[in-house]
Amino acid sequence: MNHLTTDISTPQAKQCLADSLSGLQCQDDVSVDDFLGGKLRLIQPLDGYRVSMDTILLAATIPAKAGETVLEPGMGSGGAALSLAHRVAGVQVTGLELQPVMADLGRRNIALNAMQDQVNVFEGDLTEPHPEIKDGSFDHVMANPPYLTPGRGMRPPSKTKGLSHMMSSATLKDWLNFCIDKARYKGTITIIHRTDMLQDVIARLHKRVGELTLLPLWPRAGVPAKRFILQGRKGMHGGMTVLNGLEMHGEKERYTKQAEKILRDGGAIDLKALAGRAVPAK
């Protein structure tokens, strides 16, 4: 059965959900889940890549405004793109997705959340991108590259999850070069990744992306960060500012108040404002 964790009490909502699920080869293999406190609904595979906190946190850091353009390679089922579009009315988000099954779910989720005017997705490989995704044409580029490289971890058994979590034909260098190439001059590039990959990411951005801001993501106070968000601007050469970071879980609470505001209320993480109160790294 589908795991419906969203309000489908109204006839309009029931029909919208039915339309979005129509045509799926096996509806028993998906769930329909609430995000942002029920403001966003996503159809996701039960066995495969599913939206995580990383997805929502990445979208929360994008400083987009109405009328600006955002690109997300590896869009998946659309969690980050739709979260951003929900927060910023009038922003235009383009996704690129390698896996046809995930691109299909992305399109269904765009329709389910009535975001057709703000979000679209192309199928394709970032090493051979869709011709409509042109160099230097996006105000912001955000990415959640696969965290694992072959030989440095066990590939998840699910094909969709395996491709989402482990590098295949495209390397980290390919991902970052793609992001840089597609951003306009002075546009932002935002990456979320594992902390043990921080030096690699910074090295790949060197001389092409500057004014970096690093946000560590602490599981809870006193526990080393496993993830980071790094944001910079194409063509700039300023140094890096290291922020205090974001604590996700409290001692007793599931989420800290700050994390709750982002994950449940759809709030933004204003890296520029935080950087203004931080001490630049030397």
Name residues of the chain where pLDDT drops below 50.
1-9, 153, 155-156, 158-167
Q: Domain total for the chain?
A: 1
Containing structural domain, residue 208:
3-276
For residue 182, CA distances in Å to 93, 130, 154, 202, 206 come to 13, 12, 31, 18, 17
For residue 29, CA distances in Å to 21, 45, 119, 212 come to 11, 6, 25, 41
**What is residue 147's predicted lDDT score, i.e. its pLDDT?**
85
Which residues are CB-neighbours of 194 under 8 A, at least 6 positions away? 147, 226, 227, 228
Domain-located, residue 75:
yes
In this structure, are residues 58 and 86 in contact, taking their beta carbons and an 8 Å threshold? no
Q: What is the pLDDT of residues 230-256, one digit of tens each?
A: 999 999 998 999 999 999 999 889 999
d(CA 213, CA 240): 6
Sign, Cα dihedral of 118, 123, 127, 131: negative
Name the residue with tokens 């995000």.
Answer: 35
Tokens in use for 170? 């495209």
d(CA 26, CA 101): 12
**What is residue 275's predicted lDDT score, i.e. its pLDDT?**
87
d(CA 6, CA 214): 35
Nearest to 172 by CA among 246, 114, 230, 257: 230
d(CA 254, CA 176): 33
The 10 Å Cβ neighbour count of residue 128 is 9
In this structure, are residues 214 and 230 in contact, taking their beta carbons and an 8 Å threshold? yes
d(CA 161, CA 163): 6
Domain-located, residue 199:
yes
Here the CATH number for the domain that contains residue 53 is 3.40.50.150
Cα pseudo-dihedral 235, 238, 240, 246, rounded to 10: -70
**What is residue 143's predicted lDDT score, i.e. its pLDDT?**
98
Domain-located, residue 219:
yes
Domain-located, residue 282:
no
Please provide the DSSP assignment of 79-145 as one string.
Answer: HHHHHHHHHSTT-EEEEEES-HHHHHHHHHHHHHTT-TTTEEEEE-BTTB--TTS-TT-EEEEEE--
Domain-located, residue 142:
yes
Q: What is the pLDDT of residues 96-148, one digit of tens each?
A: 999 999 999 999 999 999 999 999 999 999 998 889 999 999 999 999 999 86
Strands 209-218 and 227-234, how do they pair?
antiparallel
Domain-located, residue 51:
yes
pTM of the model: 0.86
d(CA 43, CA 110): 10
Domain-located, residue 127:
yes
Domain-located, residue 134:
yes
Q: How far apart are the two ends of the chain, measured CA to CA in Å?
A: 55
CA angle 125, 126, 129 (to 5 degrees): 75
| Centroid of chain to Cα 33 | 17
**What is residue 94's predicted lDDT score, i.e. its pLDDT?**
98
